[in-house]
Structure 1
Amino acid sequence: MQIEYKLSQAKKGAYLSIVTYTALTILKILYGWIANSHGLTADGINNATDVISSVAILIALYISQKPVDKNHPYGHYRSEFIASLIAAFIMFAVSIQVITTGIRHFYEGSFQEPSQSAVIVGILSAIVMFVVFIYNRNLSRRVNSSALKAASYDNLSDALVSIGTVIGIVGVYMGIPMLDTIAAIIIGLLIMKTSIDIFKETAITLTDGYDEDALDEIYEIISKIKGIYEIRDIKARSHGVMSFIDVTISVNPDLNVVESHEISDYIESELQQHLGEVETIVHIEPHIS
């Protein structure tokens, strides 16, 4: 599957998230205000931050499609990670606001009883976000987009947040009105956790960190190729839909250039077949006993 096609498909998921989050933001904040639900309003604010994140990812996906140039010999694929990093900071700031608002309501004792319509909105939101999660998760696996994968799990967390909001609202009707405000605080903490997780994952990638299990898989693939005496080094870095791999191997010192090059080509072919869109540089050294 070509990289351009993958990025185009990934943009569909970003557009879906933007439309869904925008609709839910308006719906939740409006109903939260009408129904006097702090939890539903906080959930709406959470969705507003998700709109920003999804727009940032969409812009980054467009930038990622720009061709290689003099200043970007590896392409622009990492643009999506920069967008994710910016979105993480925005989400963290909003989480602080939601938490402090919830705590203020708790100490002021300003418990408000939401209407039954708030429960319906919360349940519908959870169902919608779970459907979006399934779509984006499957799409991210198909196109191998790390940004869309992160967005899909953000969709899932939003579905769970909506369920938590419903629990808080139901608590009001059970005679425990403070549960709605507590739900707002919990939502703020969930937003914060999501932002921290996105930041950590993005920071690792931007500093050329790579999954150890993925490196082990690369090692296993190369180790099965005939003609290789030793795998001396493997390095890899992710650029979103594309990964760049550097491999150092030792071979029979009596091999000529053509034979050594054939081994190099076969390594590249095997890694592409098993891992998808990867670009591999193979450094060959003579094996000395």
Structure 2
Amino acid sequence: MIHFLIKKFVKDYSDTTNAKVRVQYGMLASIVAIFLNIICASFKLVLGFIAHSSSVIADGLNNFSDVGSNIASLLGFALAQKHPDMEHPYGHGRYEYLMGLVIGCLIFIVGILSGYEAIMHIIKPVELKVNVVIIIALIFTIGIKGWMFYFNNAIGDTIDSKTLKAAAIDSKNDVLSNIASIIGLLGGAFTSWPVDGAVGLVVSIIVIKGGVETISTMIDSILGCTPDPELVDEIKQYVLSQPDILGIHDMMFHDYGPGSRFCVLHAEVDNDMTLIDAHHLIDGIERNILKKYNIMTTIHYDPIETHDQTTQLLKDKMEKIVHDINKNYSIHDFHLVKGEQPQLICDILIPNDDKVDEEIIRQKIEEKMKVDNPEIICILQFDHSFI
């Protein structure tokens, strides 16, 4: 069914890096979800009022909030495809994240409201009216929500959409809350204990938890977070596999929303390579990354001395000193400027969670480098990873 819908409504569905195709996927998922959530919400609210069940009513309200979330998602995909303009040169892709934030807030609010209602039912229990038709109808909605989980998750993975992945998690939570609602109905029908209210409270907690997780994910995306490690590794391996690339460092990603991602990195090449050859090499790598990953890439090339024995000996010494201080430290951009007072220029990469005093590290390195080479001036730059 999922593949049928995609083939029927998404033109050029295999070209998932294309922004227009991505929007078609997102709008299809949102429209299908709106339709199914209206069905589920209507069923549950009617059944909940018939049965006087707070857990079923809470679940129905949650599904109606899902309709609002789906509409926000639909708007997000529609707005995200707007072309860049003078005020927004990087496009409007983050609208999707903003709409995802709205979704998380709606889920959270509904969880709070339904939780209050459940607590009232615990304090003042009401008689439940349960029959086979109600139970069968609720089981039917479990099937719908289960399918929606797989549907949203499949499309979310296909187009790498955090909004749709959040919707998939919400659908999974709905399955759990539906099961809890049935338990609450059955338990409340056969005991005087306020089982339905207690289960309704559990459902509300599940809903609140889903809202908080969605809000957290979207805030991270808006603020800027660590890129996907698999994507980083793929691009690294691709660049390093190119002839004449000796190493890479200072890699950064900028995410302005789906279809508007940028990568910056430094690539090391032999300093014997001519400028024109280096330009052709780097230019080709940038074009291929754009074609394969739809990521605009800017590569700064660093010429590296590979034949001078003095440079190599000093580099080996520097690496040993740095590793002795901390095995997680590394060096790059190592250059030796020869003269009466030779300058040793080097960047030192320190893990982000390492809160060291850089001045102390600098002094240790300079002292040890000057033991055999007192005339050397060390120019050290400390870097932190952005990936």
> Structure 1 length as normaliser, TM-score?
0.91
Aligned-pair Cα RMSD in Å: 2.1
Q: Is the 8 A contact 1:141 1:149 kept in 2?
A: yes
What residue number does 1:35 align with? 51
Amino acid at match of 1:244: F
Work out whether 1:229 is the aligned partner of 2:241.
no
> Counterparts in 2 of 1:88-127, with a 5 A limit?
88-110=104-126, 112-127=128-143
Deviation at 1:127, TM superposition (A): 0.1
Change (3 A) 1:164 1:266: farther
Q: Percent identity between the aligned chains?
A: 23
What residue number does 2:217 align with? 201
Structure with bigger helix share is 1
Secondary structure at the aligned position of 1:228 is classed as coil
Work out whether 1:154 is the aligned partner of 2:170.
yes
* Greater alpha carbon shift after TM alignment, 247-256 vs 96-105: 247-256
Change (3 A) 1:131 1:173: same
Deviation at 1:140, TM superposition (A): 2.2
2:180 pairs with 132, 142, 164, which one? 164
The structure with higher relative contact order (CA 8 Å, sep 6+) is 1
1: CA distance, partners of 2:90 / 2:143: 40
1:254 pairs with 251, 272, 278, which one? 272
2:37 pairs with 18, 21, 30, which one? 21
Determine which structure has more spread, i.e. the larger CA radius of gyration.
2
Change (3 A) 1:152 1:217: same
1: CA distance, partners of 2:19 / 2:299: 22
Change (3 A) 1:151 1:265: farther
Amino acid at match of 1:24: C
What residue number does 2:86 align with? 70
Secondary structure at the aligned position of 1:110 is classed as coil
Change (3 A) 1:129 1:94: same
* Greater alpha carbon shift after TM alignment, 115-124 vs 31-40: 115-124
Secondary structure at the aligned position of 2:59 is classed as helix
Please, which runs of 5 or more residues in structure 2 have no aligned partner?
1-14, 306-334, 336-387
Report the number of matched residues.
Answer: 288
1: CA distance, partners of 2:51 / 2:233: 54
Secondary structure at the aligned position of 2:104 is classed as helix
Q: Is the 8 A contact 1:105 1:111 kept in 2?
A: no
Deviation at 1:176, TM superposition (A): 6.1
Deviation at 1:270, TM superposition (A): 5.0
Please, which runs of 5 or more residues in structure 1 have no aligned partner?
none
Change (3 A) 1:113 1:234: same
Secondary structure at the aligned position of 2:246 is classed as strand
> Counterparts in 2 of 1:46-65, with a 5 A limit?
46-65=62-81
1:264 pairs with 282, 286, 309, which one? 282
Deviation at 1:220, TM superposition (A): 3.3
4+ residue runs over 4 A deviation = none
What residue number does 2:300 align with? 283
